[in-house]
Structures are given as structure tokens and as C-alpha cells.
Structure 1
Amino acid sequence: MAALIRRRLLCTSAEAAGRKLAVREVTKANFAEAVEEFKEDLAGSDFVAVSLQKTGSFSAGWHRELPFDTNDTAYLKAKYAAERFQVLQFAACPFSIRASKLTAQPYNFVLFPRDELKMGMPSYSFSIQTSHMAYLAQEGFDFNACIYDGISYLSKAQESAAKVRIGNPTPGNYVVDSKVTHTVADTMFIERTKSRVKNWKNTCKNSSSRTDDALLSSLRKLVMGTELYGSRPCMNIDVCSERQVQLSLEMLKEFSDELVPVIVPAKGGGTQSVRVFLTSSKEDKDFFERELQNVEEEQNKRVRGFREVIDLISASQKPVVSHNSLNDFTSIHSKFISPLPGNIEEFTGSLSMVFPHILDVKHLMKNIGPLRKVTNIPAAISYLNNHYFAPIDLETLHEENEGKSHRHNVVKICYLFAKLCTILKIPENAKPIDYHLLAPATEEYTNISNPLSNIPQESINEDIRIWRSNMRKISCNHLAFVWGFRSGYTAGMLKSMLQTSRDIFSEDFDVRLVDKSCAIVVFRQPGLSETFLDVVSNEDICGSLREMVSEGLRATSYQTYKRVCNLGLWEADLADSLDKALEHPDYNMEADSTTNRREILWSTDSMINFDDL
């Protein structure tokens, strides 16, 4: 009740001051204007929060990140979802924290992968998860605005390919490299091209003072290779290689007071020619260069579309705050940067070049015990409001935004982040909270993966205990997957049958259903999982376990599960995927030997308990 009163007082004071927080809805109609405002808000902020809405998240329960996933398998799951589903909404909110005041400027960019350049990009097709779309509809998502007015985009990789295929000319910079030694062929090319440029320039100047008839003027332009760009004469220097392009630009440095070079790309890549323009004065030259730069920038904006926002966030070097960083940033990388790499090491390296500082509020929440199991943002905020006194002054939302809570997620992330920083005293004893103090204090939380990435991969032989209320490190060696049991079996039934089958199950172990078809067995003692797998495959098996095996029970190690993720065997049932992985002929088991040195964080509380469904 006290927390509710505090929140109402904060809202009342905000309304009394006339401050209203509106989520700016951005479509292609107002995109150019919104980008300029976003740039200003970003420059004046300390952080920027992001939140994505996609056409789906995962196709089966085991496809989502689970407690027994290592960094590698969690990334491969996120990669599969990012490549399959499409981003329809990108909310970005520059914000600052000063004492207990949170200042936020939220923007909601509506996206649609429209092929505006008629080049088959950015996407031919994407998958849709019907339950996810139904949820968006309930939250007030405007699908008409998305399809008809959504902002298109190209990734950096797609933009480079588009520029090559479109073949737009780009300004050429004069190059002089004194270290390069010219060959005889280089010298001949330079002298021949220089002579031609001199004759062309002199002819253009002389012809401007003569009055020839139309036929002579046309013949002179044809012989000299002269064209007109507006009122400015121009000529083409044909080149056969990038080396000749550089030689041409080096040579044109001698005429830099009057001539402006432009690179004309070939349709299939490379350079077709260097086009040279003759200006009438220094003022005309400066004006023409600015004109070329403006044309190039407009073309680039048209090509990259929404990715301009991504580039602004990247260029600002501001810490990016997210609630589900692995899923969000695999989607961001896939759609706006380049295709996702095959492993998490390459992914983190590539992503850090664009976003060097990423903060996931889930990592901050791990420092508050009861929040370890909370994945819902409103639930986390409610818990903090009810158990901690950490008032954060946040402006209320406009009535026009009510009923469209999908737009509010990014604001809630900002609010939750500010709450956590205050409660965790980040930075220690810093009042007011200042970004320059906060940045180094949050360095330990800067992470794009899950909590597993903070686990040292070398120490695998420490004492491990598995309890419901705790999360413990555990080696992947201690895990085994079982499937092929009778339909309707619960985890408790499986555990009881295993306990009565062999002596190895007299030790502490845990069983949980991953989905309806497969369960995971977690052993406490080293070596028991290998013993269990040997027993299942042994012809001398006896007891209730023999009966279960005769009915189709199968078991395998964590390596097979990792193989499933590496091969992309994303069947609806994990059991089917494990079967296919074991039967796959083109996979080397030794390549997965590093799995034995990996650890996971295991908690039965965070598992999906299919017994309760």
C-alpha cells in the first residue's frame, strides 16, 4: 500500500508540473523528422534502452534458452530465432538518471522489410508465430500501419551489396602516396591520362569563348569525350583496375583547383571509370563538392532506412540497456549489421565493434535473490516497489498511449534499470547518480549473453549440490538426456523408476521434463552420468530399467544435445532432434569434446515443469 501511495504521489506531482511522457510513434511518413529529434535526445542522454517486438520468439518449448544451456547452445537458439522471425517494432529510449529523477524520451519505430529498391532485400520471407501475433493484436499493435507505413531498412552488408548493384557515383578523394614506387606501366598510364586531361581542360576553356555552330560543337565534344553535368563539362577516364583508379586520383591532384573527380562503380562491382568535372571558380568547386556530398547522403539514407537509428546509437557510444540482450542483439545483428556468425565468440567480437557497452537488467536482477526467477518486467518492478524504498520520479504517459502497453516496454526497462541501480547502490555512495560514475560501476554487468558467461570454464571438479531454492554451477558431464518413455510419464514417475533400477541412482540426482518427449537427468557425483549411459546401452541390463529400455527408452550425453543445436535440428520435440543427431553421418563427435569442460547454472525452479501443465 505504501508503495502504491508513493507511485500515486509521483504521478500527481508530475501531472501538476505539466510534464507528460509520450511515446513518439514513428513511421516512414515522419521518419526523417523523428531521426533528427532522436539524434538530439540521444546526444543529451546517458543511456539508451531498446526493446523489440518480433513476429515470434520460439517455435517449441525447448527452443528457448533453458538452465542447462551453455553460452554456445543458448546463442545457437537465439540465432535460429533471429534468422527466422522478423522485427516489426524497434523501441529506443534515450534516458538519463539524476538523483531520483528519470528523464526519458521514448521512440517507437514501426518497421517492415519492404523491398523498396526492387533488389530482393532486405527479406523475401519470414516466419510468423500465431500466438505471438494474437498477443500483439490484444496489446493494440497496428498491423495496417506496420505493413503500409512501416520503415524499411537494409543491413550494412546489404547496403554494400546494394551500392554495387545500383552503381551510384561517389566523390573521389585525391590520393598521394610517396611510398609507392611507380612501374613503367604506371608512368605511361599517368602521362597519357594527364596529357588527355590537359587537352580536354584547355579545349573546354577555349570553346567557352568561341561561337561554333551546333555540328562543330557536337563533333568537338565527341572527339574530346566531353559531356555536360548541368553547366559543368565532364569527361571519363576509363580504368581497368583499382590500381589505375588510385593512379588517376594521384595524377588529378595537380588539377585540384579546378577539377572534381567522381568514382563511377561498375554494376558487377569494382570501378567502371573516374569521371572528372571542370568547375569555373573556387566557389563553384566548393559548391559542387557540397552538392555531391548531399546527393550521396540522401541516397545512403534512402538505402539504409531505419538502420540510420542503429548507426546513431552505435556512433554515440552510449551504454545500451536491454532486458533480453541475447535475443534482442542477435536480431539486431542479423537484421541491421550482417548475417550472424556460426559461434558466439565471433558474434560477440562482431557485436562489440558496433555496441561496446551493453547492459542487461536481468544480470542486475540476479543480485536480488527473489528476482532470479522473475522474467516479467512489471512483476520485477512490482516486487521492488513492495520491498524496497527506492523512489524514482518518472513522467506519466499520455492518454493516447494507454492500452498499447507494447510501446511502454522500453520505458519500463529504463524505470527498472534506475530502480536496480538505486537499490544496488551503483555507484556506491554517489548522489546524484551520474553516468560518469555509473559506467565503471556497472562494468561487471556489461554482458550480451546469459549469466553463464561469468562462469570460469576451467573449474569443473568443485563440489556441486542441487537444491530447488538454489542455482549451482554444474559440469555438463553430469547431465544425461532420456526419451522414449511412455506418454504421460511425469518427472517424479521417471525419477522413482530410475531410483529402483540401479545402485547408481542411490546418490542424489534430479529429473526434469524438458518437453513432453524428453527429460534431463542431473547427477551430483562425477562419473555417474557416464555409468548410466553405459548401463542403458549394456545387453546385461536388468530390473525396471531393462523394461523401460525394451519399451524404447534411449539416453545420451550433453554432446548430442550440443550436436542438435550445431546442426540446426529444430524439431518440435527434442526427442526427434536427438534421434536425428545420433543418426547424422556428417558430424565428428571429437569436435564437441570441449563440451566436457563447460559448466552451466542449474536451477530446477527455472525449468518448465510440464508436470503442472
Structure 2
Amino acid sequence: MMHRLLQLQRRFLSSSKNAQKEQQWSVKQVTKSNFLESLEEIQKHIHDCHFITVSSQKTGGFSAPWRRVLPFDTPDMAYLKAKDAAERFQLFQFAVCPFTIESSKVVAYPYNFHLFPRDELNIGMPSYSFSCQTSYLMSMAREDFDFNACIYDGISYLSRVQESTAKDRIGNPISSHLVKSSSTSSVADVVFVERIKARVRHWRNACKEPNKGTDELLVKSLRKLILGGELYGSRPCMSIDVCNARQVQLVLEMLSEIFDDLVPLIIPDKSGGPKAVRVVFTSSPEDKNLLEKELENIEEEWNKQVRGFREVIDVLSASQKPIIAFDCLNEFTFVHSKFIAPLPSNLNEFMCSLRLVFPCILDVNNLLKEIGPVSRAKNLPAAMSYLKRQFFVPLDMEIPHQGISAEENERKKHGHNVLRITHLFAKLGSILKITHGSCKTMNGDIDKVMEDHGNIFYPCCSSLKEPIDRDILVFTNKTRKVSTEDLVFLWGFRVGMTAGVLKKILYASHDVFSEDFEVKLVDKSCAVVVFWTPGLAEVLLKVISSGGVGSSALMDMISEGLKAAGYEAYKRVCRMRLWELHLADSLDKALSDEYPRDWVANARSEPLGICWNNEFIIKLDDL
């Protein structure tokens, strides 16, 4: 008895200590004005850390209730909905927290970056416009979010693809990096090289001759016109027009083999292809080294200006450290869309592309599912409460001082979710035996612990490595598997009808409803019917397509506008991006003659996936 009391006392003291610590948590706020110095700091912290937590604040999450990820969505459908949100909304804050775990101590370095997709280069990127969801903006306003600071001092960014496009449009000279070609030179190649070699030699000799005071202005102008002389800064240079990458290769090889005092620069055209090779003359080896250093500095400054916040994403990727996040499907569709490239058309391609950038991502939502009843918790406080009751995990959270005054920390409490996720992961990691030592084996491969938990995006609970079957999990009081072929979407019923009333009406309308079934409203316009007996969904669809023959009650409902469709129609809605405000309107479009009918035949050949678990998704908004 005494032992039990002491244990409860330790837990109480630990809980009180953690509550006090959370009130003192400080997150460094980063804007355009202090971005460069913060970038240097976080690079060091990322290099030294064990894990990295990320969390973001978006301008919205979904533009209609049915476009949220729902219990009957297959992994592919869930991805298409997340893709739509990522392409529609923007990121206003992105928090990054490198941290280490040693025994029961967590040392964290949280940063909250304020972002805004400003067109810094006047080229229409990263974004002309974006959508906002009023509830999200109201939530940010309640937290005293400074929208003026976000717009005027937020950090802009370009994705990797947008950066490449920007360089092509602006056409800045690019330092050349010669890669020897193994292909045999043709006669045309030899003629081209000899002609360019003679021209470069004459120009170089003219540059090396001392200037003669007797040269008149006209003579200098003629020499410049004939030899093609220009200036790069204070150094003489000339341009060699090229038609393709092969000619660029030939020019670079010729210059490297014959001339050691010339520095070539590639000039791109607006389409991104090479337009010319600019050759700069240097007066000495020291001058050549100085020019190359200048070019490196110019390129580095240009990259920082163009990439903006994406420099942080590139540092995260280069570190190859495990990334911790919450609701990863939603989080990383935004990351991929804004900072890497446009989102692929399907989930498999998205996961392959993402793993090239972040090889190991751990979803806290997925880890929570591994601990019995905690997976049914409705919010983070409930999950933390369960962990405290069932597991004694003493944990000390230390956030070293980062030059943040107490007044500033009290005034700006943005980005604290990243610390809550870090704290929760540390507890789960202790329970599930996930440590930084288990991240990689001696040969650098992800070990079994990380393989079991990594790159599984809850609510898409099926792993891409596992065989895909036809079952999904449907939300009821008890989790039950059902085939997507046993789902029927109904719409056209009276406005304002509840799921319970609709179920009673259906129960009395036809014998097909004599077996056990469930009815759930997807939105105000549409409901989904789940049959627990295989084959009944197909029977219902045939009855409704025949006009309800044999059932006067069902005939009356059909005459009033009741319609029905199977899961294939819903898949068609998502894949064809028929994102109307109401699901009923989207289904009507999907079944209309406006779209090709052969799509259905092609879609049926694709395997149906395992849907995400129907257990609650724990939302940070519930905090």
C-alpha cells in the first residue's frame, strides 16, 4: 500500500513539474529580418540532434465537410483529398524542433518560421493566389497571430522545381562544371571546335597585349566588334553562341585543355537550354581563383534569395535524420507541394518521391495506435492522461535559452504544438523502445524498429510494402471490416433529415434492409449505407436503377429524387477532381454524360485499398 502511494506521489510530482515546464516553454520566432542568423543556428542543432519534429499552421484544411479524410476513404482517396487541400491552401507558419533524448531528458531547440508566398523575383512564383478557411484564420487571430508581420516580414520560398524555372526565366550566368564526354567527335564537331578555338585564341592574344595609347576610339570599337570583346565586371570577356548542350560540352573541353587563364560561364535562354558560353579572361592564377570565389559567393547569395525558407527543408533532407510529425499525410502533402515539386497523381508515386527527400518519417498518430486503448483517445490531453495513468515515464524537457526575453515569450506563443508533439513522441518512444540508436544499423540501413513504424501515414494505415485487399474499416461503435463493394451512397432525400430518421425510412421501404446495416451522413446532401451482409449493396443498386419496382415506399422516395451509386462513383469523383461543395452534386457530375463512360471500366481493373482505421484522428485543434 505504501509503495502504491509513493508511486502515485511520484507521478503527481512529475505531472506538476511537466505542467510548470510547459508554461515556461519558449519557441524562437523567425521572420525575414532574423532568418539568416537563425538558419546558421538551426543547421548546427540539426547536425547534433537525434530526431526532428515538424508542425505547421495552414490557411485551411478542407473546403467542404465531405472533402475531409473520412472513415470509408481508401488510402488513394485519402491522398487525393490531402492533395487537393495542399494545392488549395498555404502555409503561414512552419515549426522545426531538433531534439536529443538521453535517458529521461529531452533537450529541444524549437524554431517557428513565419512564412508568406511573396513574389520576391517578380516572376509570379511561388503563388499568385491561395484559399483561406475562416475557422483557421479565426483560430490564429485568437492566438494573437500578427497577420501584418506575416505579410510584410514573412519568409518567402520557392520549391525545387520553381527554383529551376526561376533560373531559366531570369537567365543568370551559371558556373560550368565540366564532365568529360566519352562520345566520339563527328566531322561537324571538329570543324566547330577549330573555328571556336581560332576565335578564342585571337581574342585572348588581344587581351594579353598591352594597351597602346595611340589606338584611336574607332580602332578600339572595330576590334571589339570583330573579336566580340565585352566586359564582365572589370575583366574582358567574350560570348560564344551555341545551339545545344553538345556544343557547350565541346567548348568547355576545348577551353580546359588549351587555356588555363579563361573561366567559362553558361548563359541559359528563357526555355532553360544553353544560349551561349561566356568566356572571362583572368590576368593571373590568383585573379582566376578570385573570380571563381566571386562566382561561388554570387551563386550562394542567389540561392539564398531564391530558396528562402526552403533552405531549412534542404537542411532537414540532407541530415537524413528521422522526422517526427502529426497527421503526416496532411503535413507532408503540403511540404511536397510547397517545397519540393507538384504533387504526383497517386499515393504510390507520392511516397516514392517523398522518401527520396525524407527516408524516415514517424507519425505520432500511428505510434499511438500501438498502445491499446490510447488509440481511442479523442485528443492529445486524453492520450497524455492515459499514458500517465498506465505508464510511469519520467521525462524532463529542457529548452536552452535562445535569446528570448520573458516578455517576448509571453507575447508570442506560436509554434508550441511542435513541442507538444516532441514531448508526446519522447514518451511513446520510451514505451515502444524507439531510440536514436535504433534509427540506423551499422551499414546505414533503417533497422526493424524504424521499418515497423516509419513511413506509415495515419489515417492511411496500410503499408505500401503489404498486399492490398478489398476491405475498409467503417466507423461504428465497434470497428468492423467491410468491402467497398458493400457501400452505397444515397442522395436526393429530404433536406435536414438525420441519419437515424433515414435509417428508419429505409428499414421499412424494402426487404434488402431487413439485414443489419448502418447509415451515416457524409454531409447534408449525401449519406453512405453500409451493408454487413455481402451482396446486398448490389441488390439495392439494381432495385433503385429499376425505379424501385416491388416497393411502393422506395418508389415514392425515388420519385422525390432519391439516387444511389456504388463506391466506384465515389472513386471517380475523387480521381476526376469533381470537388463540388456538396457530395451529391459531385456524384451527379460523375454519373453524367459530360464525362467519358470508359473511365469506369478502366477504374474497375485497379485494386481497392485498405482504408484508414475508423478510430478517432487526434487533432491538435482539440488542445
Which TM-score applies when normalising by structure 2? 0.89
Letter paired with 1:106: P
Query: What SS does the aligned partner of 1:81 have?
Result: helix
Render the CA deviation track for 1:228-281: whole Å, top value 9, x for unaligned. 334422111121222111110011112352111111112343122111112222
The 1:460/1:167 distance shift into structure 2, 3 A limit, reads closer
Superposed, which structure 2 residues align to 1:130-169 within 5 Å?
A: 130-169=134-173
Contact 1:476/1:596 (<8 A) preserved: no
2:3 corresponds to:
none
Q: Answer with 264-273 or 106-115: which moved more.
A: 264-273
> Quick check: 2:160–2:340 contact (8 Å CA) kept in 1?
yes
Rounded Cα–Cα distance in structure 1 between residues aligned with 2:241 and 2:22: 66
State the secondary structure of the residue aligned to 1:442.
helix
- Give the counterpart of 1:532 among 526, 536, 540: 540
State the partner residue of 1:227: 230
Alpha-carbon deviation of 1:60?
1.8
- Alpha-carbon shift at residue 553 of structure 1 (Å): 1.8
Q: Which range is displaced more, 232-241 or 212-221?
A: 212-221
Q: Which residue of 1 aligns with 2:290?
A: 287
> Matched residues in 2 for 1:605 and 1:306: separation?
33
For residue 208 of structure 2, give the secondary structure of its aligned residue in structure 1.
helix
Aligned to 1:124: 128
Per the alignment, residue 585 of structure 2 pairs with 576
Show CA shifts across 1:430-481 (max 9, x none).
xx966547964122222253343238555448xx997844333322111111
Distance 1:402 1:524, change over 3 A: farther
User: Shift in Å at residue 302 of structure 1?
Assistant: 0.7
**Are residues 1:277 and 2:286 paired?**
no
Q: Give, as a single letter, the amino acid of the residue that structure 1 aligns with 2:99.
A: F
Task: Tell me how far apart the structure 1 counterparts of residues 422 and 224 of structure 2 sit (CA, whole Å).
Answer: 64
How many percent of aligned residue pairs carry the same amino acid?
A: 53
Counterparts of 1:8-23 in structure 2 under 5 Å?
A: 8-9=16-17, 22-23=26-27
Aligned AA (1:371): V
2:561 to 552, 557, 561: 552
Tell me what 1:36 maps to.
Answer: 40
- Specify the alignment match of 1:600 in structure 2: 611
- The 1-side partners of 2:253 and 2:67 are apart by 56
Could you tell me which residue of structure 2 aligns to residue 6 of structure 1? 14
Q: 1:594 to 1:4 in 2, by over 3 A?
A: farther
1:4 CA drift (Å): 4.6
Using the TM superposition, name which of 137-146 and 401-410 deviates more: 401-410
1:269 partner amino acid: G
Q: CA deviation at 1:388?
A: 2.2
Q: Is the 8 A contact 1:97 1:433 kept in 2?
A: no
**Distance of 1:459 and 1:272 partners within structure 2:** 53
For the residues of structure 2 that align with 1:439 and 1:33, how far apart are their CA atoms?
36
> Does 2:496 correspond to 1:503?
no
**After superposition, where does 1:180-199 map in structure 2 within 5 Å?**
180-199=183-202
User: Distance between the aligned counterparts of 2:456 and 2:304, measured in 1?
Assistant: 29
* Residue in structure 2 matched with residue 523 of structure 1 by the alignment: 531
Q: Measured at CA, do residues 370 and 60 of structure 1 come closer, stay the same or move farther in structure 2, by a change above 3 Å? A: farther
Matches of 1:493 and 1:90 in 2, distance apart? 44
Q: Tell me the CA shift for residue 413 of structure 1.
A: 1.1
What secondary structure sits across from 2:296 in the alignment?
helix
Counterparts in 2 of 1:208-607, with a 5 A limit?
210-215=212-217, 216-374=219-377, 376-395=379-398, 399=406, 400-402=408-410, 404-426=412-434, 435-436=439-440, 440-447=448-455, 449=457, 450-454=459-463, 458-460=468-470, 468-539=476-547, 540-587=549-596, 588-594=599-605, 597-601=608-612, 603=614
Q: Quote the offset at 1:549 in angstroms.
A: 2.4
Instruction: Give 3-state SS (helix, strand or coil) of 1:289's partner.
Output: helix
TM-score by length of 1: 0.91
Cα distance change on mapping 1:403 and 1:433 into 2, 3 Å: farther
Partner of 1:611: none
Q: Aligned partners of 1:287, 1:80: CA distance in 2, in Å?
A: 49
| Letter aligned with residue 61 of structure 2 | S
Contiguous gaps of at least 5 residues in structure 1: 609-613
Query: Residue 433 and residue 596 in structure 1: after superposition, are their counterparts in 2 closer, same or farther (change >3 A)?
Result: closer
Write the distance in 1 (CA, Å) between the matches of 2:119 and 2:258: 42
Q: Return the offset for 1:406.
A: 4.0
Following superposition, the deviation at residue 326 of structure 1 comes to 0.9
- Are the equivalent residues in 2 in contact too, given 1:154–1:307 (CA < 8 A)? yes
Distance 1:77-1:511 versus aligned 2 partners, 3 A rule? same
Report the Cα distance in structure 2 between the residues aligned to 1:424 and 1:583, rounded to whole angstroms.
Answer: 51
Cα distance change on mapping 1:465 and 1:219 into 2, 3 Å: closer
The structure-2 alpha-carbon separation of the partners of 1:218 and 1:550, relative to structure 1 and needing over 3 Å to count, comes to closer
- Corresponding residue to 1:62 among 63, 66, 88: 66
Question: Does the CA-based 8 Å contact 2:53-2:418 persist in structure 1?
Answer: yes
Tell me the distance in 1 between the aligned counterparts of 2:50 and 2:223: 62
Unmatched tracts of structure 2, length 5 or more: 1-7
Q: CA deviation at 1:173?
A: 2.3
What's the offset of the Cα at 1:409? Answer: 0.7
Shift of 1:403: 6.5
Deviation of 1:552 (Å): 2.1
Seen in structure 2, the aligned counterparts of structure 1 residues 481 and 171 have a Cα distance that, compared at 3 Å, is: same
- CA–CA separation in structure 2 for the residues paired with 1:206 and 1:524: 92
SS at match of 1:276: strand
- Give deviations 1:99-119, integer Å, cap 9, x for gaps: 111111111110111111111
Aligned CA distance change for structure 1 residues 212 and 306 (closer, same or farther; 3 Å): farther
User: Deviation digits for residues 60-92 of structure 1, max 9, x if unmatched?
Assistant: 221110110001111111111111111111111
* CA offsets 1:371-411 (integer angstroms, 9 cap, x no match): 33446334432332343211221136974334655410111
SS in 1 for 2:334: helix
* SS of residue matched to 2:533: coil
Q: State the SS of the aligned residue for 2:461.
A: helix
Return the letter of the residue paired with 1:176.
K
Cα distance, 1:402–1:395 mapped onto 2, change above 3 Å:
farther
Aligned 8 A contact 1:452 1:600 in 2? yes
CA contact (8 A) 1:152 1:306 kept: yes
